[in-house]
Structure 1
Amino acid sequence: MKDEIAELLVVTSRFLDYPDQTFYRECSNLDAYLRKSITSEELHSEMSQRLMPFFSLELKDLQELYVETFDYKEKTGLYLTAQELGDSRRRGDALIRLQKLIADMGFEKVGIELTDYIPMLMELLAVAPENEEIHHLKRRLAYAIHRIFTHISKNNPYYQIFDALMTHIFEVPSSEEISRLVNEREEADLDELPYPMIYR
């Protein structure tokens, strides 16, 4: 079962990253891609059905859907500390602690995304040994992924990815966890500025 969870984490993390030409080449033959990635026939069949709608879209349309779904949307953003803390100055400290956790486990961040980029942390869960820190990180991700899941339309293909994650990997956070984290969030200050901003 642990192998299946790791395989599902890797596959879904790839689909939650920004879709580019490399993604489209690697995953264009979905059945072959899943057979290479997922050994369970039952899980392979399920994920094939869940992911097929992505390939009814042209790459440009899929990129636009990705941006519309995840970018600049507070409730569906793919950054763990933003989901937990909102527009808080504490995010900086949280990112530093997360980076230290990753380094202490012998891993390093790759790419240009911030340390709390959820697809990257999902890949970390797939390969990291089970310990207290990883268990805690998994609970944090469960909250963030559940929050995103509850704010995505069922008609959006990305809904199927989060549904699979909540079905097979992450436990729904308790009401106490949700209440505590909601109280810790800080919303962005969207009031009008006292003077106009001019961009050159």
Structure 2
Amino acid sequence: MSPLPATVPAIVRTRVRAAVRRRASMSPRAAEERALLLRLLSLLTQYPDDELSEQRPRLASAVAALPRSPAARELGRFMDWFTAREPDALARHYVETFDLRRRSSLYLTYYLHGDTRRRGMALLTLARRYRAAGWETDGAELPDHLPVVLEFAALAGPGPGEAPLRLHRRGLELIHHALAEAGSPYRHVLSALLSLLPPATGADRAAVAKLAAEGPPVEEVGLDPYGAPTDHEPYGQGGFAPPGTFVPPPPAPPARVAPTAGGPREEGRR
């Protein structure tokens, strides 16, 4: 088995090799290549901060060294754009695309459950899946954030590791559709990811069309940062409440204790 190219960042090489040791269902070379691809997808769907922007030449070299495949071809197209833009322009495009538009949000459970109580349970189940596999996230993002889900897939393997991606395939299809409709180069990243999953069925395509037309289930439970529609930007036109817009209700006034002849009693409660 040939070693990973030296152009691949050290953190990618280390995590990919750790993932390969967990896989027995495919050849070591195929396992290493798939883990590398998933890890690159995880990095390229993250917010392009200064650190990620500085690594663009090395990431481009890693993508160029991938074996020929539909996923590698799509990532190559994305890297042509990603490496040619100024960091500030990349950051603006990312925020406008993923943080301010509901249909291309990267929080996968939203597409399956909407703002309902079931979404909270789905997030908890996903976090428990990570812990059961021996992986603890840093808590900076929700467990259903696509870069986090991709990182887990790279580390845990195509069976249990990629199960969350397969479960949320319809949401991924909708994200891809929204990105293509908006002309975002990130559509190539989603195309690369979808090429790794089982082909969409007729039922999948019908469900995606219905989801695009009607939106996910609605039941407000305090997850406002992830998508309460606004009057001027309804679902399907990019409406997505940006982080920080949720204002919690004021705390209830404390109970007052007033002395009485019969001893203290609590006021303000019934």
Q: TM-score range by the shorter chain?
A: 0.7 to 0.9
Deviations 1:42-86 (A, max 9, x none): 259733343111122111111110011111322110011112112
Give matches, 1:26-175, under 5 Å: 26-34=55-63, 39-40=66-67, 42-43=68-69, 46=73, 47-131=75-159, 133-134=160-161, 136-153=163-180, 155-167=183-195, 169-175=196-202
Amino acid at match of 2:45: L
Amino acid at match of 2:153: L
Amino acid at match of 2:131: A
Please name the residue that 1:21 is paired with: 50
TM-score, structure 1 length as denominator?
0.79
5+ unaligned residues in a row in structure 1: which ranges? 193-198
Identical counterparts, % of pairs: 25
Structure 2 distance, partners of 1:184, 1:68, is 20
Aligned-partner SS, 1:11: helix
5+ unaligned residues in a row in structure 2: which ranges? 1-29, 219-226, 232-246, 248-270
Higher Cα Rg, which structure: 2
Please name the residue that 2:234 is paired with: none
Change (3 A) 1:119 1:5: same
Structure 1 distance, partners of 2:72, 2:119, is 39
Amino acid at match of 1:138: L
TM-score, structure 2 length as denominator?
0.61
Structure 2 distance, partners of 1:55, 1:39, is 17
Deviating more after overlay: 58-67 vs 4-13: 4-13
Amino acid at match of 2:115: D
Deviating more after overlay: 113-122 vs 175-184: 175-184
Amino acid at match of 1:143: R
* Displacement after TM superposition at 1:34 (Å): 3.4
Please name the residue that 2:244 is paired with: none
Name the one with the larger helix percent.
Answer: 1
Deviations 1:136-195 (A, max 9, x none): 32312322221100111363211111111122x123432334639949931466477xxx
* Displacement after TM superposition at 1:111 (Å): 4.5
Q: Compute the RMSD of aligned alpha carbons.
A: 2.9
* Displacement after TM superposition at 1:124 (Å): 0.7
Deviating more after overlay: 133-142 vs 60-69: 133-142
Given that 2:109 and 2:168 are in contact with CA atoms closer than 8 Å, whether structure 1 keeps it comes out as no
* Displacement after TM superposition at 1:127 (Å): 1.5
